[in-house]
């Protein structure tokens, strides 16, 4: 398979969270054709712990990562935290600074490099809204974390 930038693991993860309802099936098909495994989900909270937990749980239940191996959990965890840096832009805090998020997330796993020795990598993408805990007082936000696994 030819791994061009078109099938980058990060771009795949981003497209999964950005796809509108009529685009989502095509997007999933393209990601599968790139030999990536993935899961998607939604999470919303003022509590950062719940956001981290929702993504970890989805990745474990969908067997994107093996929860019995710390190296896989460690790779996922740091990818999640890096994605949250993009979402929060500065201080990785939500409710403590009176803001809340509503996010779609994707976790994508696979081999983004042509050199087989580069092995597997993981990408976590987030897209949604961040703002005051009042409907409408919010704007869009995104984040992407990538790690070797």
Which residue in 11, 31, 39, 109 binds a second copy (CB under 8 A)? 11
Burial 22-46 (b: 16+ CB within 10 A, else e): eeeeebbeebeebebebbbbebebb
User: Which x/- pattern, by CB under 8 A, does the window 59-98 give for a second copy?
Assistant: ----------xxx-xxx-xx--xx-xxxx-xxxxx-xxxx
* 14 part of the interface to a second copy, by CB under 8 A: yes
Strands (DSSP E) contained in the chain are 37-45, 100-110, 121-131, 138-148
Tell whether residue 28 is a contact of a second copy (CB under 8 A): no
83 within 8 A of 145, measured Cβ to Cβ: yes
Can residue 24 be called a binding residue for a second copy (CB under 8 A)?
Answer: no
Q: How far is the CB of 67 from a second copy (least distance, A)?
A: 9
* Residue 2 touches a second copy, criterion: CB under 8 A: no
Q: How far is the CB of 89 from a second copy (least distance, A)?
A: 4
CB 129 within 8 A of CB 140: yes
CB of 39 to a second copy, least distance (A): 18
Per DSSP, 3 falls in state -
Strand, helix or coil for residue 149: coil
CA distance 10 to 28: 14
Q: Which residues bind a second copy (CB under 8 A)?
A: 6, 8-11, 14-15, 18, 20, 48-49, 52-53, 56, 69-71, 73-75, 77-78, 81-82, 84-87, 89-93, 95-99, 112-113, 115, 117-119, 121, 123, 127, 131-132, 136-149
């Amino acid at each position: 398979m030819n791994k061009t930038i078109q099938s980058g693991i990060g771009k795949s993860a981003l497209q999964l969270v950005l796809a509108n309802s009529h685009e989502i099936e095509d997007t999933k098909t393209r990601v599968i054709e790139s030999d990536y495994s993935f899961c998607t989900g939604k999470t919303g909270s003022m509590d950062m712990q719940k956001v981290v937990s929702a993504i970890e749980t989805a990745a474990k239940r969908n067997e994107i990562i093996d929860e019995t191996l710390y190296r896989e959990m460690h790779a996922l965890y740091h990818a999640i935290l890096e994605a949250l840096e993009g979402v929060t832009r500065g201080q990785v805090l939500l409710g403590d600074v009176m803001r809340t998020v509503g996010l779609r997330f994707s976790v994508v796993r696979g081999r983004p490099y042509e050199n087989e020795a580069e092995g597997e990598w993981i990408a976590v993408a987030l897209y949604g809204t961040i703002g005051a805990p009042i409907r409408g007082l919010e704007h869009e936000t995104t984040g992407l974390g990538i790690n070797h696994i």
